[in-house]
Structure 1
Amino acid sequence: MPDDLRHKRKERIGVVVSDKMDKTRTVRVDWVTHHPVYKKILRRETKFKVHDEKNIAKAGDTVRIQETRPISKTKRWRLVEVIKK
């Protein structure tokens, strides 16, 4: 089935915080939300294990990641591109 007919997969932009594993990178994704009652701006971060087949992303790089099938126990995202080195 072509990619345009399949459902749209989630994409995130984040920063590589660890490149110590082979073919795996840890990517931090920052997001902002508002408290429903107090309206305070809350800054949150989530870390994802990302599959990087060619080991091209290094620590500090800004990358685009995409949700995919489970690759291992904790890896469910794959590297799409390196935006900024």
Structure 2
Amino acid sequence: MRTKKGVVTSAKMQGTVTVTVHRLVFHPVYKKRYRKSKKFLCNPGELDLYPGDVVIISEGKPISKKKRFTVTEIVKAAPRVDEMKEDDAVEKVIHREKKGADEEAKAKSKKVTEGAEGTEVDNTSDTSETSEASVPSQE
């Protein structure tokens, strides 16, 4: 019974997962190694698999036209979506706190700006008085 180690690339089908197996091949002319990959359709059995899981598959009797392998064990599980959602929720809370702090800072800067604009208004009123004095009256 042949066994291979690969990565789950798709788990969207019912009762079937796609496992990609990579292998290194030595080129006879160029004397270099290069990577080849092949996708296998596998029966997951009772295992709950997600994309990114590293698994070991073993060959057995044909299950369907293209399915010949069964997942025997999970070597390394990928991070689950539920964990990511929890992280996103934490980030949202942090973002809200940061947003609230930003709004407070904007409110403080508006108060400072309004105070500065108030002094500018006083300066313009002084300028208007001087401009009225410089304009000759038509009497």
Instruction: Specify if TM > 0.5.
Output: yes
Unaligned runs of 5+ in 1: 1-8
CA contact (8 A) 1:23 1:55 kept: no
Hey, what's the Cα distance between the residues in 1 that align with 2:50 and 2:40?
Answer: 15
TM-score, normalised via structure 2 length: 0.54
Q: For residue 59 of structure 1, what is the aligned residue in structure 2?
A: 51
Hey, what's the Cα distance between the residues in 1 that align with 2:2 and 2:47?
Answer: 22
- Asked if 1:41 corresponds to 2:51, the answer is no
Number of equivalent positions: 77
Structure number with greater Rg is: 2
- Asked if 1:25 corresponds to 2:35, the answer is no
3-state DSSP class of the match of 2:30? coil
Q: Larger strand proportion, structure 1 or 2? A: 1
Superposed CA RMSD in Å reads 0.9
Q: Deviations over 1:31-81 (max 9, x none)?
A: 001101211211110100000122511110000000000000000000100
Unaligned runs of 5+ in 2: 78-139
TM-score, normalised via structure 1 length: 0.86
3-state DSSP class of the match of 1:59? coil
Q: Identical aligned pairs, as a percentage? A: 42
Larger RCO: 1 or 2 (CA < 8 Å, sep 6+):
1
CA contact (8 A) 1:64 1:79 kept: yes
- Asked if 1:75 corresponds to 2:55, the answer is no
Query: Which stretches of structure 1, 4 residues or more, deviate above 4 A after TM superposition?
Result: none
CA contact (8 A) 1:16 1:27 kept: yes
Q: Larger helix proportion, structure 1 or 2? A: 2
Q: Deviations over 1:7-52 (max 9, x none)?
A: xx10000000000011100000000011012112111101000001
CA contact (8 A) 1:14 1:63 kept: yes
